[in-house]
Amino acid sequence: MVNQFVYESLANKLREKIIDNEWGEGDKLPSIRALCVEYQVSKVTVQSALHKLEAIGLVSARPRSGYYVLAQTTYEDTHSLSKLAVPTVKKPQLVNVPDIFHEIMQRSAAFDILPSATPSPVSSHIQLLNRHVTRATRNNAKRNTHYYGNPYGAETLRQQIAKHYKSRKLQVSSNDICITSGCQNSLYLALSVSCEPGDIVAIESPAFYGVLQLIQSLKLKVVEIPASFTQGVKPNDVLSVLKECRIKACVVTPNFSTPTGSCMTLEDKKALYELSVEHDFTLIEDDIYGDLGFHFTPEPIKSFDKTGHVILCSSMSKALSRDLRIGWIMGGKHHTNIMRNKLVHQLSGSQSIQEGIASYMAEGEYRRHLLHYRDTLKNQRDQLIETINTHWTFPFRYTVPDGGLTLWLELDKSINTVELYSQALAKNITLTPGRLFSSSDNFQHFLRLSFVHPIENQRLAAFKWVNKLVS
């Protein structure tokens, strides 16, 4: 695994040379070997940095030739959302999630522009997972029928999750992990044990709308911290909020967050953790996209945690299957209270599913699935970008994430994407308006688009129809 900070540091240095015209449009960059020598880094680090520059449209690879600089306007005018003005911090307030959130979820359309389209074929990796679950159901039917499982979750699955996180430089034991019914359930447990009604929770903006829904349900107040569309929330901005109010928790998705696909640097992750210790608030890390990096697998903030201030929440719903409803939580110093709270709401989960996933992971199938799925998602990201550049004739800009599932688009300020959502429903097209990702009236002219599904046939027609609605 490439050290994220070294990789991003090199990418930033090369980017600065391009922006400063040290390398102009059409110039060939030094070879990978030459860059290794000049910057005293490994070949993998150089390759990852170049992949990052390629992803954001600064350079282009030519077969058997090397990397060449593209026109800067491609990056600044079309791709980059990182320099756009983001909302200023407002006073803590109660949350009111709009009804449109519930409409979208009822349509099972959060990550599909056309949920009525013919589903993609099930991959061989998912077919194999189903066989593991079926085998576990058959082999342990008598025991699982008459007895509840361990409230912490199956020991075999917790061991496999702990082993998996070692590859991301996080050392935990199975006793540090509790199995839940999904990441949303984990986030609920994290917020419920670290906060009381009326407490203030800091979130990144734009934020995952599921977190906003939980904050509303728990009667907490929220303060939104404007985040970079490419590098997420910045520790100095969190510090500015801490000078104005006492927060009990901060919820972030540091790795390939929705909706922007942003990824915090390793340096910022460490600094944010240190702030949580210094100011004694709980840092709740949503790691649900952490396994979906195209060129590197980032370390979680939890890898820095020596004091128990970080609660890590995750699941396999985004990386493997929505149908599993298996998540986990690493509660740090709150772990005992999390377990007690979990027992009130969920005595036990499906033992057969947990044991099936455990054997699937133990045989290396999850790792093989990720290798294939990451490549699929990257190709579908590129396909999505090509589709909107080809078929949308109105002005827009977008992020180019290096992992995750989504792009974040800015349209003209005259376009209200909630109204656009309503218009598109007439054709069974489901857009995800930016209004969902803020507790205020922010991001009214933004959209989130997903590359979970390939764009062909019916979905391609849907994108063409959106152009008719806007143009």
Question: Hey, how many other C-beta atoms are within 10 angstroms of the C-beta on 107?
Answer: 14
pLDDT at 407: 94
Residues in the chain: 471
Distance CA 85, CA 116 (A): 36
Beta bridge partners of 45: none
Q: Which of 153-157, 278-282, 336-340, 437-441 has the lowest mean pLDDT?
A: 437-441
Q: Which pTM was predicted?
A: 0.84
Residue 166 has pLDDT above 50, yes or no: yes
Q: Does residue 167 register a pLDDT over 70?
A: yes
Query: Residue 186 above 70 pLDDT?
Result: yes
- Residue pLDDT, tens place only, 245-270: 999 999 999 999 999 999 998 889 99
User: Tens of pLDDT along 399-420?
Assistant: 888 899 999 999 999 999 999 9
Q: What is the pLDDT of residue 115?
A: 86
Mean pLDDT of 158-174: 95
- Do the Cβ atoms of 413 and 445 come closer than 8 Å? yes
CA-to-CA distance for 233 and 305, rounded, in angstroms?
A: 18
Question: Mind listing the domains of the chain with CATH numbers?
Answer: 4-79 (1.10.10.10), 97-121+368-470 (3.90.1150.10), 124-366 (3.40.640.10)
Q: Which of 315, 281, 298 has the alpha carbon at shortest distance from 195?
A: 281
What confidence score (pLDDT) does residue 104 get? 67
* Per-residue pLDDT band at 89 (split at 50, 70, 90): low
Question: Would the CA dihedral through 233, 243, 286, 277 be positive or negative?
Answer: positive
Q: Where are the beta strands (DSSP E) in 101-246?
A: 178-180, 200-205, 221-226
1 falls in which pLDDT band (50, 70, 90)? very low
pLDDT at 351: 87
The residue ranking higher by pLDDT, 96 or 191, is 191
- Cα–Cα distances (Å) from 334 to 101, 278, 337, 425, in that order, read 30, 18, 5, 43
Q: Is the pLDDT of residue 80 over 60?
A: no
Q: Sorting pLDDT into bands at 50, 70 and 90, what band is 3?
A: very low
Prior bond of 254 cis (ω within 30°): no
Is residue 79 very low, low, confident or very high in pLDDT (cuts 50, 70, 90)? very low
- The percent of residues above 70 in pLDDT, for the chain, comes to 89
Helices (H) and strands (E) in the chain, counts: 17, 14
pLDDT at 20: 66
Q: Which residue has the tokens 């077919």?
A: 127
Poorest-confidence range of 31-45, 53-67, 306-320? Answer: 53-67
